[in-house]
Structure 1
Amino acid sequence: MDYARFVFADADALGSWAHNYPLDGLADVVFWGRDEEQVAAEFGAQRTGTSGEGGYGWLNIPVRDAYARAVALNDRKNAGPARKFAFDFRPHSHHWQVMAGVRASENEAATIEIGGARIMMAMTSVGDGFFPVDLEVNAAGNPIAIRISVAGDD
């Protein structure tokens, strides 16, 4: 799995973070790829119309139903005839809420309020890796800038 994300967060606020737990009991299942139209026809799925991405699937359905659909997609992916597609099971958690904003953003970054603090998530643009971080402080020792060196293999 390739997460390729940065998260800038208050450590105390992260104690309130729900990564995979559906806060409202709902989830989305979204799939995309070369054979997405054939898979959509097989499963009766519609285009999601979510901002920042194409794809098909089901939005705002009970988490148990969403999980069953994700399992069925996984089974289909591993069965013949071969179909090329990827999918996400997205419980309505903090992680997937902020990722909706990231996908919709031109700069692939978004924020969310968690535990009384604003948390920012951004894509690295180059995948997973090691990214040196420099913190600049003022004369009083307070942080005033963060620089992250992001470089791909090319």
Structure 2
Amino acid sequence: MNDEPADGLADVTYWGRYADDAHAEFGGDRIAQYGVDGPHGWLDLPLAEAAARAAELTAWCDRLHGKGLMVSIDKHTDFHRFRRAGWHHPLRVGAIEVGGCQVLGIEWDQGDHSMRHRGERDAGQVYPVTLEADEAGETVMRWTIPPYAFDDEDE
């Protein structure tokens, strides 16, 4: 999650009490996500430019307001690319290419997968997924997660 971006890019978003004031001063697009308008910001900036823009927003807010503006720099790590691929899906799922393979990302929170399923790459876990058409022509996703072992809770 904290690796350097493979493509050297990052996204900068901002939101909060003074987001409209910041938008009037700095601009940025509305980053739409499923079911919400999403924050303002810029996508696909070179990392140095993203850091400079975020610093400028933070300094502006500190000078004028103190608090009330959240600023995020999201490097294009696989983790962020998964999240971004799911922005427009109601289940927050999306596929990206990693090492020449299509890989599905599901935006579960930490309790959903890291604790319950010992999940994600940091724990050495990936789960095979298949997508196939059903009789009605709808896409069905199937994946296997090993059964939960209650006696492993102390590990």
Q: Into which bin does the TM-score normalised by the smaller protein fall?
A: 0.5 to 0.7
Contact 1:26 1:91 in 2 (8 A): yes
Gaps of 5+ in 2: 119-142, 149-155
Q: Deviations over 1:31-89 (max 9, x none)?
A: 1122211111122x122344435221222222211111112223234333245122211
Q: What's the counterpart of residue 10 of structure 2?
A: 27
CA distance in 2, matches of 1:99, 1:114: 14
Where do residues 1-154 of structure 1 align in structure 2 (5 Å cutoff)?
A: 19-43=2-26, 45-52=27-34, 53-117=37-101, 118-124=103-109, 131-133=115-117, 144-146=144-146
Contact 1:47 1:54 in 2 (8 A): no
Structure with the larger RCO, 1 or 2 (CA within 8 Å, 6+ apart): 1
Offset of residue 147 of structure 1: 6.1
Contact 2:117 2:145 in 1 (8 A): no
Give the TM-score of the pair, scaled to structure 2: 0.59
CA distance in 2, matches of 1:26, 1:71: 16
CA distance in 2, matches of 1:95, 1:145: 19
CA distance in 1, matches of 2:144, 2:108: 22
CA distance in 1, matches of 2:32, 2:10: 14
CA distance in 1, matches of 2:29, 2:63: 23
Percent identity of the aligned residues? 23
Q: CA 1:82–1:22 in structure 2 vs 1: closer, same or farther (change >3 Å)? A: same
Give RMSD over aligned pairs.
Answer: 3.2
Q: Please state which structure has a larger fraction of its residues in helix.
A: 2
Give the TM-score of the pair, scaled to structure 1: 0.59
Q: Tell me the SS of whatever aligns to 1:72.
A: helix
Aligned length: 120
Contact 1:27 1:59 in 2 (8 A): yes
